Amino acid sequence: MHTQLQIGAFMGRWPVEVRRLPGRVQKLEEIVGRNKKEWIVYDVAVRKLNETQKTLAKVEAAHASASNVVAAKKRRSDGSSFDGI
């Protein structure tokens, strides 16, 4: 689903739990793929995978929102310096 390059670009200063999410998603996807015939293991792995994917999506959305706020503030500050000219 996600690669370390995509996620790693913005996770450098985040808590360890957040930085581990992409790896956890990958491991759970592998567990789900290996255990399709063992229903109990498969079911638990799918539940954990879905929960982890939702958490990762929330983190990515929060990052995108924060990035947009920073970019908007920068645009406002860059543009306002030319108003008086």
Inside any domain, residue 54: yes
DSSP 2: -
CB atoms within 10 A of CB 59: 19
Residue 31 identity (one-letter amino acid): I
Inside any domain, residue 30: yes
Q: How far is CA 31 from CA 35, 40, 57, 64, 85, in A?
A: 6, 12, 20, 29, 62
Q: How far apart are CA 20 and CA 43, in angstroms?
A: 22
Inside any domain, residue 77: no
Inside any domain, residue 12: no
Sites in the chain below the pLDDT cut of 50: 1-7
Inside any domain, residue 52: yes
Inside any domain, residue 7: no
Inside any domain, residue 28: yes
Number of domains in the chain: 1
This prediction has a pTM of: 0.64
Residue 9's pLDDT is 52
Domain of 23 in residue numbering reads as 18-71
Inside any domain, residue 2: no
